[in-house]
Amino acid sequence: MSDVYLDSSAIGYRLRSRRLMVAVVLVFLVFIGRLAQLQVVEGDELGQASEDNFIRTEVLSADRGAIYDHSMRPLAVNRPAFDLYVTPAHVKKLPLLLDGLRQVLELDALDLDRLREKLEEPRGMARFQPIRVRRDIDRELVARAEALRAQVDGISIRVEQQRAYPQNDIGSHLIGYLGRPRPEEVANGDPLRYRDGTMVGRAGLEQRFEEVLAGRNGLERFVVNARGARAADQRALGAVDDVIREPPVPGSDLVLTVDAEVQALLMQALSRYESGAIVAVDPRDGTVLGIVSKPTFDPNLWSGRLPAEVKREVDENPYKPMIDKSVHSFFPGSVYKVVTALAGLEENAIEADQEVDSPGSYEFGNRIFHCHKLSGHGHLDLSGAIAASADVYFYKLGERLGIDTLATYAARFGFGRRTGMEINGDSPGIVPTRAWHDEHTPGGYQFGLALSTAIGQGDVRTTPLQMAMAYAALANGGTLYAPRIIDRIQSPDGKTVQKVAPQVVGTLGARPEHIQQIVTGLERTVADTDIGTGTLAAVSYGRIAGKTGTAQVRDIERARFTDKVKDFRDRDHAWFAGFAPVESPRIVVVVFLEHGGTGGKEAAPVARQVIEGYHQRIEPIFNTAAVNDARTPRRERGLP
């Protein structure tokens, strides 16, 4: 047998054996080539991939700075919040887990489907990334989730800092709220800053001082195994030289100039009105004592998981709770007349004691400009015209001064530009000029526009905060301040990092006697029971100066509102801007009631309530003993 094999076929077998050898060698060459490709050509890239496998970088979130009021009452702080997570890779029995979560979190079928999708979607390493199922669960839910965690794999509970606002909705516009960073912020921003779960300021001071409050997140790189668990011995794997830990730097705290009690006082003063704002500042240095807007919102809800019904309620609220009316611009009406008055005096268009006939209407060109008092006021000097808010007096002044001169003086009062508060838009408002009208008004500028501008109508728009700073300038003798809302920035351990000084942004540039003449008119507004429009702002024990404003508003798009809202929309804006005590002003109060009615009837008493409340509950500003001795009260009013 072997002979046959050897003789006839040996050569053929040897040939084919050699062919097989060549084939084998070729295959091995391919393998070696592939090895070289992976290990040399792609070596760095795959080396990085292997590092990415076991080195996990975790962002250590910095505690956000707190916000305190002037008396160190907490306005915005952090509290621990428990978030429920599921890690898809650790889930062994998905149906069991889903059923458990359904019971604990009371999920409906739709939620459940969505959750299942979310858990089944990730692939590869992404499955080791925990997915947040529910944010900020309460303690009872934490206990039940812990019980579930003991039964099924994949659940974890993490503690995050949740923002809390102890004052709830009081002064919420000023404080603002937090929100999740937008995708583009995450994409373009500092990855340390915008990690998953980081909330950023979305309104108010939270937004304005984001940089100060946020601090800097830390960073930790550590070794994990395939289950995502931290390896016990960080050096065990040998290859890691750069396990680093950079501790987070907590944000700084803000101490405000406002006082929570003042804020509460202002809200209380607004209680009878649907919509409006009150600003109280110290005219001596522009310090903001209180600033509120109504309706409010609860920042606790907005900074967490906003319930859909709350969101809808807010969206559909005709009084627009999310607009901060203290820095939103509106028609000022007659409170703006101080601009015209000062311009008139400074430009020598009028003398303070010069009497001007102020009838019920004024014919200019082919138009008739009416006074709010159709019977007219007769002859009035400047203080009388201010006190009675005689429109024709100011029409005449406006005619003489022209719109651009008025605008020049408006600018000195700070109108037409941002106050420097820089929260919630801090609207610059509008101070119309000839050029402005040429650009914005159909048909361009017409001279009659100067007349309506002179009484704060036409296209003038100011914010309550601007108005407060303007009246503060009148009260302090001519210095225009930027509102000082932050008293100091301090480190988490309570050390002052930065004390915020008052900031002068301008001056009225007027002769003191001119300012005094206007103040006299403002005091008469409150004090003169015969012609004063703001007498409801008066208190028996002190001198108050102020101006009422009733801005006529025609609302165009009112058809879709309810009767109550229509009624609201038809009413004028009611303003009162004033300060007290006149002899040494300590507080400027601006009351703005959106569609609140007339300034004298509605806004003036609100201002009185604020001034009285401030005097009685916060700080006595009136030297009552001296006043009672020196003066006989003009009006008898029972103290509340």
Partner 1 sequence: MAGVARLDWSLVVLVLLIGAVGVFNLQSTSLSTGSNIHLKQLYWLVLGGVVMVVTAAVDYRHLDRFSPFLYGFAVLMLALVLGIGKEVNGSRRWFDLGPASVQPSELSKLAVIAALASWFNRVPRPAGYTLRDLLPVAGILGVPMFLILQEPDLGHTLMLLFIGFSMLAYERFDRRALLTLITAAIVAVPVMWRFVLRDYQKDRILTLLDGDVDRLGSGWHALQARVAVGSGGLFGKGHGMGTQVAGGFLPENHTDFVFANLSEEHGLIGSTFVLFLYLLLILGALRVASHARDKFGGHVAVGVAALIFWQVFMNIGMVLNLLPVTGVTLPLLSYGGSSVLTVMVAIGLLVNINLRRTVF
Under the rule (CB under 8 A), what is the footprint of partner 1? Answer: 1-2, 4-6, 8-9, 12-14, 16-21, 24-25, 27-28, 30-32, 34-36, 38-40, 42-43, 45-47, 49-51, 53-54, 123-124, 127, 223-227, 231, 236-239
The residue (of 138 and 242) whose beta carbon lies closer to partner 1 is 242
The least distance separating partner 1 from the CB of residue 9, rounded to whole angstroms, comes to 6
The least distance separating partner 1 from the CB of residue 151, rounded to whole angstroms, comes to 25
The residue (of 43 and 247) whose beta carbon lies closer to partner 1 is 43
Residues 6+ apart with CB under 8 A from 527: 535, 538, 543, 544, 634
The residue (of 223 and 407) whose beta carbon lies closer to partner 1 is 223
The residue (of 32 and 497) whose beta carbon lies closer to partner 1 is 32
Residues 6+ apart with CB under 8 A from 621: 542, 580, 581, 586, 587, 611, 614, 615
Contact 599, 574 (CB under 8 A): yes
CA atoms within 13 A on the CB side of 604: 26
The residue (of 23 and 143) whose beta carbon lies closer to partner 1 is 23
The least distance separating partner 1 from the CB of residue 117, rounded to whole angstroms, comes to 16
The least distance separating partner 1 from the CB of residue 47, rounded to whole angstroms, comes to 4
The least distance separating partner 1 from the CB of residue 53, rounded to whole angstroms, comes to 5
The least distance separating partner 1 from the CB of residue 40, rounded to whole angstroms, comes to 6
Within 10 A of 570 (CB to CB), how many other CB atoms are there? 12
The residue (of 122 and 197) whose beta carbon lies closer to partner 1 is 122
Q: Which residues of 446-471 are buried (b: 16+ CB within 10 A; e: fewer)?
A: eebbbbbbbbbbbbbbbbbbbbbbbb
For residue 40, what are its two tokens? 């040399």
Q: DSSP for 294-318?
A: ES---HHHHTS---HHHHHHHHH-T
The least distance separating partner 1 from the CB of residue 32, rounded to whole angstroms, comes to 6
The residue (of 124 and 640) whose beta carbon lies closer to partner 1 is 124
Nearest one of 483, 500, 467 to 420, comparing CA atoms = 483
The residue (of 89 and 352) whose beta carbon lies closer to partner 1 is 89
Contact 200, 212 (CB under 8 A): no
The residue (of 49 and 497) whose beta carbon lies closer to partner 1 is 49
Q: DSSP for 23-86?
A: HHHHHHHHHHHHHHIIIIISHHHHHHHHHHHHEEEEEEPPPPPPEE-TT--EEEEEEEEEEEEE
Nearest one of 622, 609, 470 to 547, comparing CA atoms = 470
The least distance separating partner 1 from the CB of residue 59, rounded to whole angstroms, comes to 21
Residues 6+ apart with CB under 8 A from 129: 87, 122, 228
The residue (of 38 and 159) whose beta carbon lies closer to partner 1 is 38
The Cα–Cα gap between 56 and 222 comes to 5
Q: DSSP for 127-190?
A: GGS-EEEEEEE-HHHHHHHHHHHHHSTTEEEEEEEEEE-TTTTTTHHHH--EEPPPHHHHHHS-
The Cα–Cα gap between 414 and 483 comes to 11
Within 10 A of 485 (CB to CB), how many other CB atoms are there? 25
The least distance separating partner 1 from the CB of residue 24, rounded to whole angstroms, comes to 5
For residue 180, what are its two tokens? 């999740």
The least distance separating partner 1 from the CB of residue 240, rounded to whole angstroms, comes to 8
The least distance separating partner 1 from the CB of residue 36, rounded to whole angstroms, comes to 6
C-alpha Rg value of the chain to the nearest Å: 36
The residue (of 4 and 308) whose beta carbon lies closer to partner 1 is 4
